A and B are shown apart, each in its own frame.
Chain A
Amino acid sequence: MKDWSEICKQGEFWLTKVKIVDPEAGRIFEGAVKVDGGLIAEVREGAFAGEGKILDGEGLHLAPGLIDLHVHLREPGYEEKETVQTGAMSAARGGVTTLCSMPNTNPICDDGSKVAFIRARARQAGLCRVLPVGAITRGSDGKQLADLGEMHDEGAIAFSDDGWPVADAGIMRRAMELSRAWDLLIMSHSEEASLSRGGQMHEGSVSSRLGLEGIPRESEEIAVEREVRLAKMTGAKLHICHISSGGSVDIIRRAKAEGLRVTGETTPHYLLLDHSHVSTYDSHKKMNPPLREKIDQEALVQGLIDGTLDAVATDHAPHTEIEKNVEFAYAPFGVTGLETSLSAVITRLVEPGLLDLPAAVALMSSKPAAIIGVEQGRLVAGAPADLVLFDPTERWTVRGKETASRSDNTPFEGMELTGRVRATFLAGRPVFRRYEEDGESRESFTPNLAKEAAIA
């Protein structure tokens, strides 16, 4: 295997013999892509040998690099779980080239300097674009608004108190009103805490059997309804995070029909797993919101098919083995996801024929790009050359121990998934590759420290 980084060093090269997945045009075609100066210079359809420097795509699929709207990088404050560096490695390994980092670090990301810190760390890592999400309230205490404008100036892409959802509807109203000044995006982890407090898993037949406190669907749905009404009242741009319940999909469907600027996402684990997977008290199936029922899964899939839901994001939430390897009730909520999201979506949606590959890829590239308003996520001339090269048919078994993340709390341990990332390009450079050498599978990470790799 030739060293791709060497070939790409001058910044100008052709990636040939690829099946191009264009999420916006909704089609797949054979062709080649020319990269120059970190951008896609040309997309050429048909057989083409290339000229100048050439990378042979060997018939693999090429899509825009994935965009993940919900990631916990844990730095600063929880470096034992993840750092910007390891999180970016994990992203690159999963084909993710842009991610939104959640503000629940320690300290909470609630002012401009903290936003700048995360961006600086991401630049040093050079493996993935990191767009910080700033807190809505200072310290995410739900009481006093944080300086949204200053964080926006420093590059915050959206605002959320994520895991500490703003309980006071009046404060949320003011946040949404203020967001209009710069037309900022509000992301909501929708949870009515008075209904979910003390809960460990979805409230239903399994929680009844296991003797675990339940988190009812309504704790999510009531909060989604509140956010939607406040968005209508204020005209704010609202995105609902990690939707787990079928009822929330209905609320968003109605909001969209009303013409509100509301978008929604779900996660791979809600699509592949349900509450019965908790029945062995496996803390790797513990997250918030919790795994719900088959009917919710079906409603989420339907929402993705009919366009009610706009994106699949991971809610990548690393925790150390020490924290997770305890009694279920004492384990923290959260699972990792960056390295399994593309495979999970192919396995759950593309393989059974529910969505075609371009539509599935759109949920993880062009559509989330539109939500946060970035130019990534497209495979057309002039767009940033953030790309993922993958084999949509390769079957592999998930092993937490093989992760690039600092934590290995995947909910898919031991599951066989279809589709696997072979290479990830960030601003025209291969930052991750998986290849065969001497009959062995090898992986390499090569940071792209060029200035354009940091900008989104």
Chain B
Amino acid sequence: MSFDRMHLLDLESLSREEIIHILDTAESFREISEREIKKVPTLRGFTVVNLFFEDSTRTRISFELAEKRLSADVVNFSKSTSSVQKGESLLDTVENLLAMKMDIIVMRHGASGAPHYLAERVPASVVNAGDGKHEHPTQGLLDMLTMRHHLGDLSGRKVVIVGDILHSRVARSNIHGLTKLGAEVVLSGPPTFIPPKPESLGVSVDYDIGRALKGAHVVNVLRVQKERQEGGLMPSMRAYARDWQVGLKHLELLAPDGIVMHPGPMNRGVEIAQEVADGPRSVILEQVTNGLAVRMAVLYLLSEARKKLERGEIEEKPLEKSEVLA
């Protein structure tokens, strides 16, 4: 297996084999993180720009650390999406950066599809660090790495995603990645938080969280945002917590080896009870560690693919999106 892609835009278009290859690569990077000298020269000579149009300290720090441990030259660029929308276009911003010879662009952007837009137009590699309500592929990968670590092969395992699926890029990356690895994915949350035609995503829905969690190997709890209450999707945060907060009583419903995950940052006492977040089933901090390994793996694989392209060993394929079911 080799990874010959120039970009990581989403998990939807990756094959099962490519996902497994990234996860296997991440395992070896996790070992590096446990060494005394954590730095490797893999990305020496590569310049990576972290282009963040939305605030996300956690994701940016994770990427930055991954880049530095791989010995890349790192540039950070943050700008709020709203100011970009008014002024300079995304393409202008990026072309300015590319004039300074950037090899890889790690981008967080508020508009779904923005990384795809960019990848079609610039010679650099694009890594999607979260686009709008679409995908957050490295989060999906680190979630799967964490699950794999605890559960082994994920095929046939039951993963329940609870919360605001409709607006969650984390959910979409989890759904595409997990279904490719053969896991059974169940969504739970208020009906106003479930995207239309969920069956077309290869998942099932159970509004009753108790029923959904029965025998689950993983419960992945999503952050609930306050804006949703204002947007009329939920009467209140309290109303959400009453029926969909993952609490202690839910833990006994899980499979014996079942784990609790959360992509962070958490609203303790809203989508997740304090005791659960800090309890023995929680692998939330492990997710953070794995995030670093996954991001190192992705940057390494893209840099290798770029080297192969430069040497003429592979050709750049046009971007394709996996076939969409109507």
The docked-state distance in angstroms from the alpha carbon of A294 to that of B133 is 25
> A105 near B: Cβ within 8 Å?
no
> A435 near B: Cβ within 8 Å?
no
Report A200-219 residues with CB < 8 Å from chain B CB. Answer: 203-214
The docked-state distance in angstroms from the alpha carbon of A281 to that of B113 is 6
CB distance from B78 to the nearest CB of A (A): 17
- Which residues from chain A contact B195 at a C-beta distance below 8 Å? 207-208
User: Which of B89, B114, B116, B197 is the one whose CB lies under 8 Å from A205?
Assistant: B197
Complex contact B133–A281 (CB within 8 A) = no
The 8 A CB mask of B95-118 against A (1 = contact, 0 = none) is: 000000000000001111110110
CB distance from B21 to the nearest CB of A (A): 23
The 8 A CB mask of A234-272 against B (1 = contact, 0 = none) is: 000000000000000000000000000000000000000
Which of A208, A280, A293, A325 has the most C-beta atoms of chain B within 10 angstroms of its own C-beta?
A: A208
Report B35-61 residues with CB < 8 Å from chain A CB. Answer: none
Report A302-330 residues with CB < 8 Å from chain B CB. Answer: 322, 325-330
CB distance from B274 to the nearest CB of A (A): 31
Complex contact A205–B326 (CB within 8 A) = yes
> A275 near B: Cβ within 8 Å?
yes
Complex contact A326–B89 (CB within 8 A) = yes
CB distance from A113 to the nearest CB of B (A): 34
The docked-state distance in angstroms from the alpha carbon of A212 to that of B116 is 14
- Which residues from chain A contact B134 at a C-beta distance below 8 Å? 210-212
CB distance from A409 to the nearest CB of B (A): 15
Number of A residues near B (Cβ < 8 Å) is 27
- Which residues from chain B contact A279 at a C-beta distance below 8 Å? 321, 324
The 8 A CB mask of A169-213 against B (1 = contact, 0 = none) is: 000000000000000000000000000000000011111111111
Which of B89, B109, B113 has the most C-beta atoms of chain A within 10 angstroms of its own C-beta?
A: B113
> B223 near A: Cβ within 8 Å?
no
- Which residues from chain A contact B131 at a C-beta distance below 8 Å? 211
> A124 near B: Cβ within 8 Å?
no
- Which residues from chain A contact B196 at a C-beta distance below 8 Å? 203-205, 207-208, 214
Complex contact A208–B324 (CB within 8 A) = no
By secondary structure, the B interface counts as: loop
The docked-state distance in angstroms from the alpha carbon of A214 to that of B194 is 13
Report if A327-B133 is in contact (Cβ < 8 Å); known contacts: A204-B196, A208-B198: no
Report if A327-B324 is in contact (Cβ < 8 Å); known contacts: A209-B12, A209-B201: no
- Which residues from chain A contact B89 at a C-beta distance below 8 Å? 322, 325-326
The residue of chain A having its C-beta at the shortest distance from the C-beta of B112 within the complex is A211
The 8 A CB mask of A317-359 against B (1 = contact, 0 = none) is: 0000010011111100000000000000000000000000000
Number of B residues near A (Cβ < 8 Å) is 31
The docked-state distance in angstroms from the alpha carbon of A204 to that of B113 is 17
The docked-state distance in angstroms from the alpha carbon of A209 to that of B89 is 25
The 8 A CB mask of B291-326 against A (1 = contact, 0 = none) is: 000000000000000000000000000010100111
User: Which of A203, A206, A212, A326 is the one whose CB lies under 8 Å from B133?
Assistant: A212
The docked-state distance in angstroms from the alpha carbon of A212 to that of B321 is 16
> B83 near A: Cβ within 8 Å?
no
CB distance from A135 to the nearest CB of B (A): 28
Complex contact B197–A204 (CB within 8 A) = yes
- Which residues from chain A contact B326 at a C-beta distance below 8 Å? 205-206, 274-276, 293-294
> B2 near A: Cβ within 8 Å?
no
The residue of chain B having its C-beta at the shortest distance from the C-beta of A208 within the complex is B195
The docked-state distance in angstroms from the alpha carbon of A213 to that of B325 is 18
Complex contact A210–B200 (CB within 8 A) = no
CB distance from A157 to the nearest CB of B (A): 37
Complex contact B109–A327 (CB within 8 A) = yes
CB distance from B115 to the nearest CB of A (A): 10
8 contacts between A and B (CB under 8 A): A205-B196, A205-B326, A206-B326, A208-B197, A212-B113, A275-B326, A326-B91, A330-B85
5 A-B pairs closest in CB distance = A281-B113, A211-B134, A205-B200, A211-B133, A327-B111
Other CB < 8 Å A-B pairs besides A208-B197, A274-B326, 4 of them?
A211-B134, A293-B326, A328-B113, A330-B85
Please report B residues at the A interface, Cβ cutoff 8 Å.
12, 85, 89-91, 109-114, 116-117, 131-135, 169, 172, 195-198, 200-201, 319, 321, 324-326
